Chain A
Amino acid sequence: MKFLPLLWSSLWRKKVRTIFTLLSVFIAFLLFGLLMTIRGAFSFGVDIAGLDRLVLIHKVSLIMPLPVSYKDRLAATDGVTMVSHQTWFGGVYQDPANFFAQMVVEPEPFMKIYPEFKIPPDQVKAWLADRQGAIVGVDLAKRFKWKIGDRIPIVGTIWQPKQGQVWDFNIVGMYDGDSGVDKTQLFFRYDYLDENRLRGEGLVGWYVVKIADPSQASAMGAKFDSMFANSSAETKTTTEKGFVEGFAKQIGDIGTIMIAILVAVLFTMLLVAANTMAQSVRERTSEMGVLKTLGFSNAAVLTLVLSESVLIAVIGGSLGLGLAWVIVQQGDPTNGMLPVFVLPQRDVVIGGVMIVVLGLIAGALPAFNAMNLKITNALRRS
């Protein structure tokens, strides 16, 4: 610690060079933070998908509906604690560009199966009392400046009402949740849809089943599928995590693309930083000789050079990650296409480790050279 002033002054020996090295590292880790956020956003919250929740869809395809009658049969199965169904509504609010997800659910089982959606109790009561009631995510409410009590019209694209084309909803509540929870959805009641739709009565999109023992997930899945085998609507059951992952994979391997870009970025920055460090140590050969003459051990010189490079990496890197975090706090820049837009905590930790590793590798060779420097040679060079 007492060498900190020495470190500091050798850092600022060549101001311009240090500043540009800092900026390079800064940019590298700013990109790291942003790319990891994009990667997380394209995985649609797979990290919070419940392992004890199974998703049953129609075997032919997700767009095929299932009969609502499956609910009782599923609920009567041993090991099932809760059953709920959901339906994709896919309506348009004012303009097709205002895309957001609208889900048709049964309020009570839905709220029990998804405790991560936090709704104040009085709003829950209001929702149960109002058939046209809808619950919206806080981010969605912010986007359209909706308040509780607002009445909003949504044009059905898949489901037509018996009259006209517009479905009206009363916003009776707002849900919040931890980071990673998609707060851009609208949930409304199944009975409202079912009583008023022109066709498709008694059909739901898919089932979500909560099971008592997550280790039995695949056995339970197989059991459900065999229950409905050879019926007119056969099912395919996966864990919710598997379901979300499968969905994300349909978009393509965004994760791999992001990591490939990051490798390119970090490799370049490593070269830049290592080159600068080498240059800076080379210039100070005689100073190193003086330090050693004064009695600094080889190990001390090694540590000194390594700390210098780690210090640059830590200052630049943490500023970069910090700015990335600040930017991500502003929320999804695409207006609804990437609902879960957060910098995952795990990636912040990984970033921190990479910062230190980058500093160590960049400083390794120059530090090693400085350590092995013979005093006589070092002093003679100038």
Chain B
Amino acid sequence: MDFIKQTFAVTLLNLQTIPQRFGSSGVAIVGIAGVVIVLVSVLSIAQGFSAAMEQTGSPSRALVMRSGADSEMTSGLGATEVDLIKQAPGLLRDGQTAVASAELYVVIDIPKIGTNSPANVPMRGVEPQATAVRNEFSIVEGRMFQFGTNEVVVGRGASVNFQGLKVGNTIRSGQNTWEVVGMFETDGSVAETEIWCDSKILQGAYRRGNTYQTVLAHLDSSDSFDRFRDSLTSNPQVNVQVRRETEYYAQQSRALSSLIRNIGFGIAALMGIGAVFGAILTMYTAVSTRAREIATLRALGFNTTSVLVSVLSESIALAAIGGAIGGVLAYVAFNGYQTSTMNFSTFSQVAFAFQVTPQLLGMGLTYALAMGLIGGLFPALRAARLPIPSALREL
């Protein structure tokens, strides 16, 4: 009982005197807060990017591309192939028509807001069934474009990130002009970075003849995927590969998000080592400026463990303050921050928002506490082992 009381008393004393050592404690707090900000913010980039990619797609949709194509961009399908694909078993049908959309996927040069330099904004030519295939599609401003005209609708992410993509505007691109008549949302998925228009019109504008690049098909149930795929891959008249839409997008995001994550963890690990050194220095300073007090306490009969615990608690408390400050700052500064980047596999822009999730904040705080624990350990041992006579004599 005595032991606990002692520990409690010394720890309280330590924590209460932190403001007196404001300078050096501040260094430890700032150092740890800095590490947490960097860790959380860099990981929030990866989190936001992969969330945007993974929200895209539903397991009950299948994406058909030419076999050998590694993305929608490099795929190509002739009109007869498209017809055969739409007749395959396992597709959802609305009366006689298959709920499937043959699409073109190209990019168009539009300046990015902020840099003013041209960016590859994805443009998708769709068929009337496209909105039935994607049930999450909804127009939030203006109206849907009319098929057979040069009207387009733009995704919310595209509208935020690129110049001139507002309802009522006209986009000039080479000899084509496109009229923006509406803005749409698709639950925050990648499609929101796209501009949609009639696939027939886009075929003409990009001189693609009567060809398409992909078919996005709604299956009659998620389980009919295998039936749908096998019937197409075994059909010698078509040369295609079939993937679930979810798989396609997950694979697209893998390379970039793991690159960002690795860079983030790498930087945070190195910075963390630096911050641990900072914390060690702070705690050593704290111990050495109070060497006489600590020796006095021990001379009075306080045991070594209580001294050790008190120093460790101080270090962890500083780390917790730093971690909390860092987490809050990262959240305030970066959560929901809109940006866009290049997805290399389709060579086109993807708009997304940084996401500071509770999980990331928890990870940041845990990391901060670990740094505090490691940073406090050696100084605490030193304080506990301080030779009493010489410490009492110190200045």
Q: A156 touching B115 by the CB < 8 A rule?
A: no
Given A16-B284, A268-B274, A279-B285, A234 and B175 touching (CB < 8 A)?
A: yes
Q: A30-B270, A155-B68, A275-B27 are in contact. List 16 more A-B contacts (CB 8 A).
A: A27-B273, A27-B274, A27-B277, A34-B266, A61-B106, A61-B108, A61-B173, A64-B206, A157-B69, A157-B71, A157-B74, A250-B119, A253-B115, A265-B34, A268-B31, A272-B31
* Inter-subunit contact B281/A250 (CB<8 Å): no
Convert A12-32 into 0s and 1s, putting 1 for each residue whose CB lies closer than 8 angstroms to a CB of B: 000011001101100110110
Q: Is the CB of A267 within 8 A of B34?
A: yes
Residues of A within 8 A of B341 (CB): 250-252
A261 within 8 A of B: yes
Q: Count of chain A residues with Cβ under 8 Å from any Cβ of B?
A: 60
Contact of A259 with B by CB under 8 A:
no
Q: Is the CB of B340 within 8 A of A60?
A: no
Of the candidates B31, B118, B280, B344, the one whose C-beta lies within 8 Å of that of A271 is B31
A241 contacts the other chain (CB 8 A) = no
A353, chain B: closest CB distance, angstroms: 20
Q: Does A55 contact B (CB under 8 A)?
A: no
Judged by a CB distance under 8 angstroms, whether B117 is at the interface is yes
How far is B118's CA from A60's CA once the two chains are assembled, in angstroms? 11
Task: A30 to B269: give the CA distance in the assembly, Å.
Answer: 12
| B342 at interface by CB-CB < 8 Å | yes
Over the window 340-377 of chain A, the binary record of Cβ atoms lying under 8 Å from chain B Cβ atoms (1 yes, 0 no) is 00000000000000000000000000000000000000
Tell me if B259 counts as interface (CB < 8 A to partner A): yes
Assess whether B73 is interfacial by the CB under 8 Å rule.
Answer: yes
A-chain residues with CB within 8 Å of residue B255 when the two chains form the complex:
97, 337
Docked complex Cα distance between A201 and B280 (Å)? 68
**23 pairs of residues in contact across A and B, judged by CB atoms under 8 Å:** A23-B274, A27-B271, A27-B273, A31-B270, A59-B109, A60-B108, A60-B176, A61-B108, A61-B120, A62-B109, A63-B120, A90-B74, A92-B70, A156-B68, A157-B68, A236-B109, A250-B349, A251-B342, A252-B341, A264-B37, A272-B281, A275-B282, A276-B281
Residues 110-131 of chain B, each 1 if its beta carbon lies under 8 Å from chain A, else 0: 0010010111100000000000
Chain A 78-95 interface mask (CB, 8 Å, partner B; 1/0) = 000000000000101000
Chain B residues contacting A156 (CB-CB under 8 Å) are: 68
Q: Is the CB of B115 within 8 A of A249?
A: yes
Q: Which residues of B contact A252 (CB under 8 A)?
A: 339-342
Taken residue by residue from 31 to 59, chain A's Cβ proximity to chain B (1 for < 8 Å, 0 otherwise) reads as 10011001000000000000000000011
Q: How far is A59 from B205 in the complex, measured between Cα atoms in Å?
A: 12
Q: How far is the CA of A21 from the CA of B278 in the complex (A)?
A: 8
- CB of B140 within 8 A of chain A? no
Closest 7 interchain pairs by CB? A27-B274, A157-B74, A60-B174, A246-B117, A272-B278, A24-B277, A250-B342
Q: Which residue of A lies closest to B73 (CB)?
A: A63
Interface residues of B in 278-301 (CB under 8 A from A): 278, 280-282, 284-285, 289
Residue of A nearest to B209 (CB): A199
- Residue in contact with A268 in the complex, picked from B24, B118, B267, B275, CB distance below 8 Å: B275
A158 an interface residue at 8 Å Cβ cutoff? yes
Residues in A whose Cβ lies below 8 Å from that of B120: 61-63, 250
From B38, B174, B277, A264 is in contact (CB under 8 Å) with: B38
Asked if A272 meets B27 with Cβ closer than 8 Å, knowing A31-B271, A250-B112, the reply is yes
**A324-B131 Cα distance, complex, nearest whole Å:** 52
At the interface, yes or no: B23 with Cβ under 8 Å from chain A? yes
Alpha-carbon distance between A262 and B132 when the two chains are bound, in angstroms? 49
Q: Which residues of A contact B106 (CB under 8 A)?
A: 61, 63
User: CA–CA, A369 to B259, complex, Å?
Assistant: 48
- A276 to chain B: closest residue by CB: B281
CB-nearest residue of chain B to A242: B117
In the complex the two chains form, is A271's CB within 8 Å of B30's CB? yes
Nearest CB in chain B: distance from A65 CB, A = 9
- Cβ B34 vs Cβ A268 within 8 A: yes
Contact between chains at B24 and A275 (CB < 8 Å) = yes
In the complex, what distance in Å separates the CA atom of A60 from the CA atom of B208? Answer: 14
The answer for the CA separation of A165 and B281 in the assembled complex, in Å, is 63
Task: Report chain B residues within 8 Å CB of A163.
Answer: none
Q: How far is the CA of A58 from the CA of B175 in the complex (A)?
A: 11
Q: Select which of B277, B342, B347, B395 is within 8 A of A272 by beta carbon.
A: B277
A245 at the interface (CB under 8 A from B): yes
B contact residues around A28 at 8 Å (CB): 274
Chain B CB count within 10 A is highest, among A31, A60, A230, for A60
Instruction: Give the residues from 332 to 388 in chain B that come closer than 8 angstroms, CB to CB, to chain A.
Output: 339-342, 344, 347, 349
Give the residues in chain A near B206, CB-CB below 8 Å.
60, 64
Interface: B107 (CB within 8 A) = yes
Q: Are A271 and B109 in contact (CB under 8 A)?
A: no
Tell me the chain A residues, 310-362 only, with Cβ under 8 Å from chain B. 334, 337
Q: A27-B271, A382-B395 are in contact. Are A20 and B342 (CB under 8 A)?
A: no
B9 interface residue (CB < 8 Å to A): no
Complex interface: chain B residues within 8 A of A264 (CB): 34, 37-38
Of all chain B residues, which has the CB nearest A271?
B27
Q: Indicate if the CB atoms of B70 and A157 lie closer than 8 Å.
A: yes
B263 at the interface (CB under 8 A from A): yes
Please tell me if the beta carbons of B70 and A96 are within 8 angstroms of each other in the complex.
Answer: yes
Roughly how many angstroms separate A257 CA and B44 CA in the complex, as a whole number? 13
CB distance from B374 to the nearest CB of A (A): 12
CA A279 to CA B27, docked complex, whole Å:
13
A230 contacts across to B, CB distance below 8 A: 175
Q: How far is the CA of A312 from the CA of B349 in the complex (A)?
A: 46
CA distance A34 to B270 in the complex (A): 11
